[in-house]
């Protein structure tokens, strides 16, 4: 129903933010609030609107990949949106997907609210779906230092740090066979940001 919200960050709390969109404040529950920019900055949050008899809640994500994974999680029985958000908060997304794809349920159990039963169910439900999605970082010649340089360049050009990280990550996965110049990577990342 609400695909994304774009506006100014009004406030941040432990597990949520309020985004001001033309004078209306949308309260959005989000994983790892520390990743969010400071109040006053513009932000685009992809959302999932969850409605029950007792509540209506907006859940927010910094990327479509994160939202898609959240939707996969809540498609598993006994995993509701709050548990799914806790899982996303418990581990970096790539590491989380890699753990599931490799069948490492014990690593999942290190996340709060994820016991042996839920961890096992996640692995059973998502392992085959994720094993084709996991990309070995060694398959791309862009290392973490170059990726950080791209993020710094984009932030220096005035872009939001979260959008810059997402764009740099998206571009990083495109290069497999040749080592690009950093200028080419920055240009590609600028095109990626322009899509948002």
| Confidence check: pLDDT of 145 > 70 | no
Pick the closest to residue 81 from 124, 109, 128, 47 (CA basis): 47
The domain made up of 64-131 has a fold known as DNA polymerase; domain 1 (1.10.150)
Q: Do domains 4-61 and 138-194 have the same CATH topology?
A: no
Percent share of the chain, pLDDT over 90: 39
Distance, in Å, from the CA atom of 33 to the CA atom of 154, rounded to the nearest integer, reads 21
Residues of the chain with pLDDT > 70: what percent? 87
Residue with the bigger pLDDT between 173 and 58: it is 58
For the residues of 169-187, what is the DSSP string, one character each? HHHHTT-SSS---HHHHHH
Say whether pLDDT at 149 is over 90. Answer: no
Candidates 3.40.640.10, 2.40.50.140, 3.20.20.20, 3.90.1520.10; correct CATH number of 4-61? 2.40.50.140
The CATH code of the domain at 138-194 is 1.10.8
Asked if pLDDT for residue 136 goes beyond 60, the answer is no
Burial of residue 145 (number of CB atoms within 10 Å: 0-12, 13-18, 19+) = exposed
Length of the chain: 196
For the segment 56-112, what is each residue's pLDDT rounded down to a tens digit? 999 999 999 899 999 999 999 889 999 999 999 988 888 888 888 888 888 889 898
pLDDT of residue 6: 95
């Amino acid at each position: 129903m609400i695909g994304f919200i774009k506006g100014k960050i009004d406030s941040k709390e432990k597990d949520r933010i309020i985004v001001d969109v033309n004078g209306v404040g949308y309260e959005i529950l989000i994983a790892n609030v520390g990743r969010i920019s400071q109040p006053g900055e513009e932000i685009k949050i992809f959302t999932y609107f969850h409605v029950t008899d007792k509540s209506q809640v907006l859940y927010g994500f910094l990327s479509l990949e994160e939202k898609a994974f959240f939707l996969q999680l809540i498609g598993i029985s006994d995993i509701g949106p709050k548990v799914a958000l806790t899982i996303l908060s418990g581990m970096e997304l790539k590491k989380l997907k890699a753990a599931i794809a490799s069948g490492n349920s014990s690593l999942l159990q290190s996340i709060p609210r994820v016991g042996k039963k839920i961890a096992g169910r996640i692995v059973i439900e998502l392992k085959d779906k994720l094993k084709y999605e996991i990309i070995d970082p060694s398959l791309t010649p862009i290392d973490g230092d170059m990726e950080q340089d791209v993020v710094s360049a984009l932030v220096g050009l005035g872009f939001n740090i979260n959008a810059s990280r997402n764009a740099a990550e998206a571009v990083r996965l495109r290069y497999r066979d040749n080592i690009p110049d950093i200028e080419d990577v920055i240009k590609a990342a600028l095109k990626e940001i322009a899509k948002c």
